Homo-oligomer: A and B are copies of this chain.
Amino acid sequence: MESDIRLTPTSYIVLGLVEAAGEATPYELKKVVAAGLANFWTIHHAQLYTEPKRLAEAGFLNERRETGGRRRKRYTVTEAGREALQEWLSTPTKTLTVGRIPSFLKLALGSDPKALAENQLPAQRRKLAEYEALQAQLSPEMQGNVRIVVELGVEMQQELVRCWKHVAERA
């Protein structure tokens, strides 16, 4: 019950997903992540095993081991976990910038704008198409914020395409 661990975004992802599922195994989390979150936040399957363990040791999750079959671990959030999550959810974020955009970094470090844009633009367009496809096949009665987040993701991708178009046009 070392309750004083540092909670990272990964922690809140686990807390949030377990909370939403009611109860979950790491593998189930993995599938949920792959189904959407993975599109705008990298998270590796190993973390979905180590992080719940960490959170359980700190008292934010309950860990229960199955007795039969695969004897896998099932997690539920504790009261403390729910509180920590709610507190985080209701606090505005400190970092207000878009994260790291590798292609912009290349530009900043001296890439030839024209050449880079010519490579980047089509790739960026393909990615946008992917996102829009994802958005299209979202079941209409999909509840909650998922729809909104996907929409925002599409908007950001459109903006990226626009950015590279500008660079390309700048001759």
- Residues in chain B near residue A157, CB distance under 8 A: 97-98
Identical copies of this chain, number: 2
Determine the main DSSP class of A at the interface with B: helix
Q: How far is the CA of A103 from the CA of B34 in the complex (A)?
A: 20
Q: How far is the CA of A16 from the CA of B105 in the complex (A)?
A: 10
Please tell me if the beta carbons of B155 and A97 are within 8 angstroms of each other in the complex: no
Can you list 25 A-B contacts with CB-CB less than 8 angstroms, sorted by A residue number?
A: A9-B100, A9-B102, A9-B105, A13-B105, A16-B110, A40-B98, A40-B100, A42-B100, A85-B109, A89-B106, A89-B109, A90-B111, A90-B115, A92-B103, A92-B119, A92-B120, A98-B98, A98-B160, A104-B149, A104-B152, A104-B153, A107-B148, A148-B170, A155-B166, A156-B163
